[in-house]
Amino acid sequence: MSDGDEDWVLSADMLRDYQDPGTPPGTLRPAEGESGPSRIIVTSYGADDSSVQETSDPASLDRLGDDGRVHWIHVIGLADVKVIEQLGASFLLHPLALEDVMTLGQRPKAEDYEDSLFAIFQYLSVTATRLRKTQIALFLGKDFVITFQPGGPDLLAPVRERIVKGRGRLRTKGACYLAYAVVDLVIDSTFPALEELGKELDDVEDAILENPDREDVERLQAVRRELLLLRQVLWAQREVVGRLAREEHDLMPDDVRIYYRDCYDHAVQAMEVSENFREMASGLLDIYLSSLSHRLNEVMRVLTIISTVFMPLSFLAGVYGMNFDTRHPLNMPELGWRYGYVSFWVVAIGMVSVMLWQFRRRGWI
Amino acid sequence: MSDGDEDWVLSADMLRDYQDPGTPPGTLRPAEGESGPSRIIVTSYGADDSSVQETSDPASLDRLGDDGRVHWIHVIGLADVKVIEQLGASFLLHPLALEDVMTLGQRPKAEDYEDSLFAIFQYLSVTATRLRKTQIALFLGKDFVITFQPGGPDLLAPVRERIVKGRGRLRTKGACYLAYAVVDLVIDSTFPALEELGKELDDVEDAILENPDREDVERLQAVRRELLLLRQVLWAQREVVGRLAREEHDLMPDDVRIYYRDCYDHAVQAMEVSENFREMASGLLDIYLSSLSHRLNEVMRVLTIISTVFMPLSFLAGVYGMNFDTRHPLNMPELGWRYGYVSFWVVAIGMVSVMLWQFRRRGWI
Amino acid sequence: MSDGDEDWVLSADMLRDYQDPGTPPGTLRPAEGESGPSRIIVTSYGADDSSVQETSDPASLDRLGDDGRVHWIHVIGLADVKVIEQLGASFLLHPLALEDVMTLGQRPKAEDYEDSLFAIFQYLSVTATRLRKTQIALFLGKDFVITFQPGGPDLLAPVRERIVKGRGRLRTKGACYLAYAVVDLVIDSTFPALEELGKELDDVEDAILENPDREDVERLQAVRRELLLLRQVLWAQREVVGRLAREEHDLMPDDVRIYYRDCYDHAVQAMEVSENFREMASGLLDIYLSSLSHRLNEVMRVLTIISTVFMPLSFLAGVYGMNFDTRHPLNMPELGWRYGYVSFWVVAIGMVSVMLWQFRRRGWI
Amino acid sequence: MSDGDEDWVLSADMLRDYQDPGTPPGTLRPAEGESGPSRIIVTSYGADDSSVQETSDPASLDRLGDDGRVHWIHVIGLADVKVIEQLGASFLLHPLALEDVMTLGQRPKAEDYEDSLFAIFQYLSVTATRLRKTQIALFLGKDFVITFQPGGPDLLAPVRERIVKGRGRLRTKGACYLAYAVVDLVIDSTFPALEELGKELDDVEDAILENPDREDVERLQAVRRELLLLRQVLWAQREVVGRLAREEHDLMPDDVRIYYRDCYDHAVQAMEVSENFREMASGLLDIYLSSLSHRLNEVMRVLTIISTVFMPLSFLAGVYGMNFDTRHPLNMPELGWRYGYVSFWVVAIGMVSVMLWQFRRRGWI
Amino acid sequence: MSDGDEDWVLSADMLRDYQDPGTPPGTLRPAEGESGPSRIIVTSYGADDSSVQETSDPASLDRLGDDGRVHWIHVIGLADVKVIEQLGASFLLHPLALEDVMTLGQRPKAEDYEDSLFAIFQYLSVTATRLRKTQIALFLGKDFVITFQPGGPDLLAPVRERIVKGRGRLRTKGACYLAYAVVDLVIDSTFPALEELGKELDDVEDAILENPDREDVERLQAVRRELLLLRQVLWAQREVVGRLAREEHDLMPDDVRIYYRDCYDHAVQAMEVSENFREMASGLLDIYLSSLSHRLNEVMRVLTIISTVFMPLSFLAGVYGMNFDTRHPLNMPELGWRYGYVSFWVVAIGMVSVMLWQFRRRGWI
């Protein structure tokens, strides 16, 4: 998906990775394109201390107890169905939610289960003007947060770093604030992505204003498609964060809700920017088309001027190239005139002058 | 409808099969295009066992009792008014609902009758880029589900198979969950259909980017029309599933409602994808038009260059083809020059060079 | 309005027949375009019998008593202000409502007066692709229904026929169900009208795909205008039926409300179809424009090919038509060559071949 | 604004006459473009009698007492700040409302002050296809109505006439009904204005269908701009009347509210018509563009046919005008043939025939 | 940003100045582009007196007491993090709000903290057709208002002047009214900005109607982009003022709320005007494109007329320039006619006449 020369496959980008109709809900299977074992990074912290450990055995997580500390389990890699199932069993996660975790390309959403909140987001990045979505799934419980991402570099490392370094309010405000930190990171990932697309739009605009070319339209169309994809994610994401910021929930104390409201503002802003980009892109297409139209006018004007000047002249030359028998006095007496040829040029230059004057009067030249 | 060469009949696709104005409501008549007897497949199951039997006599269904088991009656073929009427009488189905069952091409909808829920969906499939809707009607009662489809292969077979094989939660969660399984199957039928249309869009895009042709626009227009039809269905379907997932109802326990919510998410996603496809299709039209415009520019540039180069040259040749009487010294003395012809070529080549340089300066060649 | 050659008068179609600003409300005057006496058809029925009588004297209607039967008074022709006034006085109809009855081209609406419901609908028909609206006004009281239509054939005859023949539930369900039967008839009149417009769209599409012509755009534009008019009616009508189906009202028992819900579904469907037609019409315009653009390309290609081939050839021929004095050896020695003429043709044919090869390479021929 | 040749000043039409940012609210200054003293027309009436008097001294109005009669004070001319201030003091009008009265070009709005209702409307008229807004401000109290309009003919005269002549219900229904009469008059002023714009649209359409010209587009664009302005007013006006018709208020008895509902229907209808006009205007632009495109096709076809026919012929004539030395037998032997010239014409006419046949086959002629 | 020749950087204008994803919320850093110390202007007033003092040491502000007077602290310059932090500590401002204060380019918003209201607005100005946003942040407490703006001239000076001069109600109505005065000033800054853009639109329109040029489209596109940016601000601003005018809040007495309602009306009006400008801008693009199309038609008509007239004539002249051997009587006997040359001209002039007549008949000349 990151190769520029690769063929664009619309349906693959737009359609999520769906299961065959008729599959029982809650059926787990390895996520599309994932392989290898999962990494499990467990971060536990209280106000005063924190610990990070990495494991690949979910069984060890059962021992995470009701010790008043917050536990954050981050799973990287979604190929290992057993790990996911065991986590689900330990923390009483709903099978439908687990199915969503394993199905990449999901629409961002939030579900409210009995004693946990479940949400799906898309971490956005742009490589070579192609938008890349990385699905982040999140469970929030009373004293734990569980997050999932597909295999690759750990996207949530900055949050863990803040915990370890004890920066900000992270250590003192409980699991809900931790969840906010994750959501905030993911929402804010939109801005660099938007910046990339904005730069590409700027480039295309410069190219179109400079010298509109067919290739520019294709680049423009590519950006428009990415913006379509982006909008789909941003709308849903805005809605999800809006719900978290608005709805009353036991797991969401009021002083943390304020942070979600801030995050909601960012989501709205991202959406507005993407809408503006879409409008600008369609404005660029207008410019491109009007440039083509303008250039055609210019070309046709040149052609018409040339034709209008030289067709009558050629006709005139053709006339005096005729072979009428000049022995009859009425047949082309001009040919025998002393100043015939000179007169021809005088007439020709006069005609051209009149035409050029006409063209100038009409603003054609 | 599956033939590519068949004439498209808009009104037939867009307009449902309506009855003459003034017909009393609840009047049953064989569904449009249906014939032959109906197949009735009765599936009864409890947590531990299941039985499937097929009959063509609805009278036998009266014996389905209040035995705590769930009964699913699936009717295939909508030509036999008597069967439908008898079912309606046995299960106290509302005549308006029965009329809707028999009228194909209905808008998806859900109606809430006293002790049953009634819903209509459209099972979607795409054959040769034409969208085909197959109407599925569903009644949900306390311990029964009755479904109807037009004649043809049994579309709901995967659900029955899951019952028989005892896969998933189907056997343990009552009639409402069975209804969910049916709705889920129908909603998920959208994704393969969307995939087909997406592939066609990809093809058209490749064709347009390669070498835009008139035929491509017609293909594009065909896809757009299918997307229009699709959208009409998807909007309504989303609304229907949304109501089922949201509204309180005796027949809908809370733990099943969660599944409808999941199904609603799928419906929303399908709708978003179809909207994106629509936008992409209109983007492709823009590309097509700008390609034509671009090509016209290119063609006209060639014409203008050729004309601009050869018209003055032809005029020059025409001049020296004139027959002025060269006995007068002012008449075309060039003709008598020793290097006249050579000079002609020098001038001609000089003019062409100047013009080509001009064209290059303007970026025309 | 049914003449194809008549001039289209937009404002007349779009604007209802309004009264001068400042006219006191409730002022009755004969409806625009109506003349002659009104026909009054009185249908009275109970569960077991029915009677129909026609009168032109509204005074006789005072005797319609509180006999438990339902009375339906249908007035055809809206020129006779006295009849309307007398009816209004007998049945306590609000003057504003009566003014609406007499003002044709009204927006469909429903008003809830103290002990009656008042509604206005538009019966739709299409003649020669022109939409014709016929205004049906309806008052619903406890045991009476009063309807009004402009002069012409009795549009509500099918309902009366069902009463007389005792078909359906009409005789047993009271005045509210009778009103439903009327509303249903009017709403369902949309479908044949839509079918006509759909056929015209199909025709225009065939014409445009076959051989796009200027006249096709005018036909298309005519359909678009009718669809605009239609939409205006359908939106309002949908809203009106929706209110009847949704709002609690003493005159509207719950078991009849279900029928209005069904009617509402039809109104929604009609509206969706008309929206789809509108989108298709604008898609057809796109096709038309792209066809013109395509044809222009084709024409220009032919012109460019012809010019590119023949301009150099003509120049060449012009060169050897020059009259340089061949006594100087450098002046056009080719003319004296033994194979000069043959060489000319060889060069000419060679040039043409190169050009044709170039054209083929660029995909122009 | 009524001169057709005057330059259109967009910003002046669209932007209301705003005060400098930072001006304290409630600052009164003479309304833009107003001068001279104000006329004050006081109409007092009870069920049985009415009196009209004109004054220019607001002090005399203090004597209008609590005599059970309705008092209507109509102020014409908004240059005299003192009059307005004195009225405000006598009737306890809010300073913000008074500022709005003096600021022309306001958005229609309704404000609910403690014991009065305040509303602003725009009386619409069309002169020479330019829309003219005249601001009508209205205060409704328990037994008085105060209205303001800029200097000029008395726009509300028809209402006063109805009071004096005792026509309709005006004299018996109190101040609220009087306010309704004013609002109704203003709302209904939209229809003649719409009719004017509709006629202009019809004219433009006829012109475009007849012979599309550049001037037509400018006329069309002028109408579109007026429709934009109109829409802005109509949306707000609809909203204002809707609020009056819907919201409970002490000053608004239920039997008068029904009249406001009727007025609301008119406002909705006006808005729908203006929306339809907008769509029609943009449809006309489509027609204009497609006409241009069509005409270009036609012109280019003629050019291509002419070129295609005559370029080869001219080449042929050019060939036989060459001066190859015919003493060599291979050099242009055709020139010496007995039937050479005849053959030339035969070939020429044959070529033309083939081409014309080709053109006809392609549908070009 | 105020230089006309500077390159437009879309992303910079559209995207606010965002922090890196993962930054802890509430992290303060100097605002983008700000430097130098902050100016702090403290205005204290009661009904009878007022004092203004300027300081750069926020510590002195702690002494502002509970003396019943209103204190307004206006901070100019956002580079000095310490000043902001100290203010936050003194007045118990929320860290998230302070972060928003320091992040320029924020979306206008209002937040409701426990005992203060926080709002962000954008003061708008237009320089050389470029929109410039200056962020104004505002905290409203029981008896204080704190406002922040980036470095530069004091934008809120007019409000301070009104306090000092004792004009209007400012001194008597408490902190909430002061906040209103600030909001009103900022909202009203939109109108001069809109006026500037409106003038530019007028200019572009004149240019396009006069002589459409490529440069005009670029100017038009620039205005459209500014309108996009403007709309984003205006929508949010309208929403913010609407919330202030609507929602109940301890800090907002009812008699002040009325002023916010007035301010809301202005915000709505500004938004409507900007929407109308957007529509007008896209109408201008239509005009431009149709002008180009029209001009192309005109040019092509000239070309076609010239070609159609002179190609046949040239062919004719070419024919009589052929060198068929006139010793054969059938070879070009016309050349030997006495009136051959005269006949040629008669035929030529006749052909031209017929063609011109044809062109006139088709309305081409």
Q: Which candidate from D224, D288, D295 shows the least CB-CB separation from E283?
A: D224
Mean local confidence (pLDDT), B66-72: 86
Contacts of A232 in chain B (CB under 8 A): 272, 276
Contact C300 D300 (CB under 8 A): yes
User: B324: which 2 tokens?
Assistant: 């002025």
Give the integer Cα–Cα distance in Å for B319 and B315: 6
Question: Which residues are CB-neighbours of C65 under 8 A, at least 6 positions away?
Answer: none
- Asked whether the beta carbons of D320 and D335 are under 8 A apart, the reply is yes
Q: How far apart are CA C352 and CA C358, in angstroms?
A: 10
Torsion angle of the four alpha carbons A11, A15, A20, A21, in this order, in degrees rounded to the nearest 10:
-110
Q: Residue E364: its pLDDT value, please?
A: 82
Question: How, if at all, do strands B109-113 and B70-76 pair?
Answer: unpaired
Q: pLDDT by residue (tens digit) across B301-330?
A: 999 999 999 999 999 999 999 998 888 888
Q: How confident is the model at residue B145 (pLDDT cuts 50, 70, 90)?
A: very high
pLDDT digits (tens, 9 = 90+) for E93-109: 998 899 999 988 888 99
Secondary structure of chain A as H, E, C letters: CCCCCCCCCHHHHHCCCCCCCCCCCCCCCCCCCCCCCCEEEEEEECCCCEEEEEECCHHHHHHCCCCCCEEEEEEECCCCHHHHHHHHHHHCCCHHHHHHHHCCCCCCEEEEECCEEEEEEEEEEEECCEEEEEEEEEEECCCEEEEEECCCCCCCHHHHHHHHHCCCCHHHCHHHHHHHHHHHHHHHCHHHHHHHHHHHHHHHHHHHHHCCCHHHHHHHHHHHHHHHHHHHHHHHHHHHHHHHHHCCCCCCCHHHHHHHHHHHHHHHHHHHHHHHHHHHHHHHHHHHHHHHHHHHHHHHHHHHHHHHHHHHHHHHHHHCCCCCCCCCCCCCHHHHCCCHHHHHHHHHHHHHHHHHHHHHHCCCC
d(CA C315, CA B316): 9
- Subunits in contact with chain E (3 or more CB pairs closer than 8 Å): A, D
pLDDT at A316 over 90: yes
Q: Do A21 and B189 touch (CB under 8 A)?
A: yes
Distance CA(D359)–CA(D1), nearest Å, equals 55
Q: Is E360 exposed, middle or buried (0-12, 13-18, 19+ CB in 10 A)?
A: exposed
Cα–Cα distance for residue pair D281/D287, rounded to 1 Å: 10
Q: Which pair of tokens denotes residue D260?
A: 């406001």
Tell me the nearest-neighbour CA distance from D168 into chain E, angstroms: 36
Residue A355 pLDDT greater than 70, yes or no = yes
What integer is the mean pLDDT of D151-164? 92
pLDDT of residue B1: 34
Residue of A nearest to B266 (CA): A107
Contact B172, B46 (CB under 8 A): no
pLDDT at B12 over 80: no
Segments in chain C below pLDDT 50: 1-9, 11
The whole-angstrom separation of Cα A324 and Cα C210 is 52
Nearest to C19 by CA among D192, E155, B282: D192
**In this complex, do B297 and A296 lie within 8 Å of one another by their Cβ atoms?**
yes
What's the half-sphere exposure (Cβ side, CA atoms, 13 Å) at B202? 14
**What count of other Cβ atoms lies within 10 Å of the Cβ of residue D174?**
16
How high does pLDDT run on average in chain D? Answer: 87
Please state, in angstroms and rounded to a whole number, the distance separating the CA atoms of residues B290 and E267: 40
Q: Looking at the partner chain, which of C21, C107, C321 has a beta carbon nearest the beta carbon of D185?
A: C21
**Closest residue to D265, CB basis, from C107, C337, C340:** C107
* Residue C97: half-sphere exposure toward Cβ, Cα within 13 Å: 28
> Do residue D330 and residue C341 have CB atoms under 8 angstroms apart?
yes
pLDDT of B80 strictly over 80 = yes
Is the pLDDT higher at C45 or at D210? C45
How many A×E Cβ pairs under 8 Å? 189
Cβ separation A300–E299 shorter than 8 A: yes
User: What DSSP string describes C223-269?
Assistant: HHHHHHHHHHHHHHHHHHHHHHHHS--TT--HHHHHHHHHHHHHHHH
Q: What is the average pLDDT score of chain A?
A: 87
Which pLDDT band holds residue E9 (cuts at 50, 70, 90)? very low
Q: What is the pLDDT of residues E322-333, one digit of tens each?
A: 998 888 888 888
Enumerate residues 6+ apart whose C-beta is below 8 A from E151: E34, E35, E36, E38, E76, E77, E78, E79
Beta bridge partners of B138: B119, B147
Between chains, do E18 and A202 touch, taking CB under 8 Å as contact?
A: no
Distance from CA of A321 to the nearest CA of B (A): 4
Write down the pLDDT at residue E17: 64
* Residue of A5, A6, A10 for testing the chain B interface, max B β-carbons within 10 Å: A10
What are the two backbone dihedrals, phi and then psi, of residue E55, each rounded to the nearest 5 degrees? -140, 165
Name residue C39's beta-bridge partners.
C76
- Amino acid B140: pLDDT: 94
| Contact yes or no for E160/E50 (Cβ under 8 A) | no
For residues A56-67, average pLDDT: 76
Neighbours of chain C (3+ CB pairs under 8 A): B, D
From the list A228, A292, A336, the residue facing B325 with the nearest CB is A336
Instruction: Show contacts of A61-66: CB within 8 Å, 24+ apart.
Output: A61/A87, A61/A90, A62/A90, A64/A144, A66/A143
Question: Tokens 């110390």 sit at which residue?
Answer: E37
Q: How many CB atoms lie within 10 A of CB B235?
A: 17
pLDDT beyond 60 at A11: no
Which of E168, E296, E324 faces D24 most closely, judged by CB atoms? Answer: E168
Q: C77 to chain D nearest CA, in Å? A: 24
- Give the pair of three-digit tokens for residue D107: 């958005």
Q: A53 pairs with which residues across the strands?
A: A42
Supply D21's token pair: 């940012």
Residue-wise pLDDT for A196-246, tens only, equals 999 999 899 889 888 888 888 889 988 998 999 899 899 999 999 999 988
Q: Quick check: E71 pLDDT over 80?
A: yes
Residue with the larger pLDDT of the pair C58 and E278: E278
Q: Average pLDDT for residues B185-208, to the nearest whole number? A: 91
Q: Which pLDDT value is given to residue E354?
A: 94
Q: Give the angle subtended at the CA of E228 by the CAs of E222 and E230, to the nearest 5°.
A: 105
pLDDT band at E7 (very low <50, low <70, confident <90, very high): very low
Helix extents (H) in chain E: 10-14, 81-91, 95-102, 157-165, 174-188, 190-210, 214-246, 254-319, 340-361
Q: What is the pLDDT of residue B13?
A: 62
pLDDT recorded at residue B307 = 92
The confidence band for D160, taking pLDDT boundaries of 50, 70 and 90, is very high
Instruction: Assign D4 a pLDDT band (cuts: 50, 70, 90).
Output: very low
With contacts defined as CB-CB under 8 Å, which chain B residues touch C328? Answer: 336-341
Q: What is the pLDDT of residue C4?
A: 37
- Please name the member of E184, E332, E363 whose beta carbon is closest to the beta carbon of D341: E332
Q: What is the pLDDT of residue B3?
A: 36
Using one digit for the tens of pLDDT, what is the confidence trace for A241-266? Answer: 999 988 888 888 888 888 999 999 99
Q: Which of C6, C9, C15, C27 to mutate to test the interface with D (most CBs of D within 10 A)?
A: C15
User: Under a CB-based contact definition with an 8 Å cutoff, are residues A237 and A267 in contact?
Assistant: yes
8-state DSSP, C7? P
* Predicted pLDDT of residue D3: 36
Higher pLDDT, A1 or D52: D52
The letter for the amino acid at A218 is: E
Give the pLDDT score at A36. Answer: 87
Give the closest of C111, C292, C307 to D293, CB-based: C292
**All residues at 6 or more sequence positions from E300 whose CB lies less than 8 Å from its CB, including other chains:** A300, A304, D296, D299, D300, D303
Q: What is the pLDDT of residue B186?
A: 95
User: For C141-145, C351-355, E114-118, E349-353, which range has the lowest pLDDT when averaged over its residues?
Assistant: E114-118
- Token pair, residue B42, equals 């009765």
Strand partners, A50: A45
Asked whether A139 and A92 are in contact (CB, 8 A), the reply is no
Separation of CA C341 from chain center: 70
Side-chain-side CA neighbours of residue B178 (13 Å): 33
Q: If pLDDT is split at 50, 70 and 90, which confidence band does A184 have?
A: very high
What is the rounded CA–CA span in Å between residue D343 and residue D326? 18
Structure tokens at A13: 């980008």
Partner residue opposite E291 with nearest CB, options D214, D306, D313: D214
Question: Which of B18 and A333 is assigned the larger pLDDT?
Answer: A333
Instruction: From chain D, pick out residues whose CB is under 8 angstroms from the CB of C310.
Output: 311-312, 314-315
- Say what the pLDDT of residue B330 is: 87
- CA D146 to CA C66: how far, in whole Å? 49
DSSP of C13-82, one letter per residue?
A: HHS--PPPTTPPTT---PPTT--SPPEEEEEEE-SS-EEEEEES-GGGGGG--SSSSEEEEEEE-S--HH
Quick one: pLDDT at residue A55? 86
**Chain B environment of C300 (Cβ under 8 Å):** 296, 299-300, 303
Per-residue pLDDT, A3: 36
Amino acid at C19: Q
The pLDDT of residue A136: 96
State the pLDDT confidence band at E15, using cuts at 50, 70 and 90: low
Locate the chain C residue with the closest alpha carbon to D272.
C232
- Average pLDDT for residues A137-147, to the nearest whole number? 93
User: What SS3 class is residue C307?
Assistant: helix
Say how many Å lie between the first and final Cα of chain B, rounded.
50
Position E66 scores a pLDDT of 72
E168 or A207: whose pLDDT is higher? A207
Nearest residue in C to D318, CA atom: C317
> How far apart, in whole angstroms, are the C-alpha atoms of residue B24 and residue C158?
10
What is the pLDDT at residue D12?
Answer: 55
Distance CA A271, CA A182 (A): 19
Could you read off the pLDDT of D312-359 as tens digits, one per residue? 999 999 999 999 888 888 888 888 888 889 999 999 999 999 999 999
Separation CA A201–CA B160 (nearest Å):
52
Encoded amino acid at D79, one letter: A
Cβ pairs D/E, distance under 8 A: 187
Query: Residue B346's CB: how many other CB atoms inside 10 A?
Result: 11
* Residue E339 DSSP one-character state: T
Q: Please tell me the predicted confidence (pLDDT) of residue A238.
A: 94
CB contact under 8 A, E21 and A205: no
Question: Strand locations in chain D, DSSP E?
Answer: 39-45, 50-55, 70-76, 109-113, 116-127, 130-140, 144-149
pLDDT value, residue D17: 64
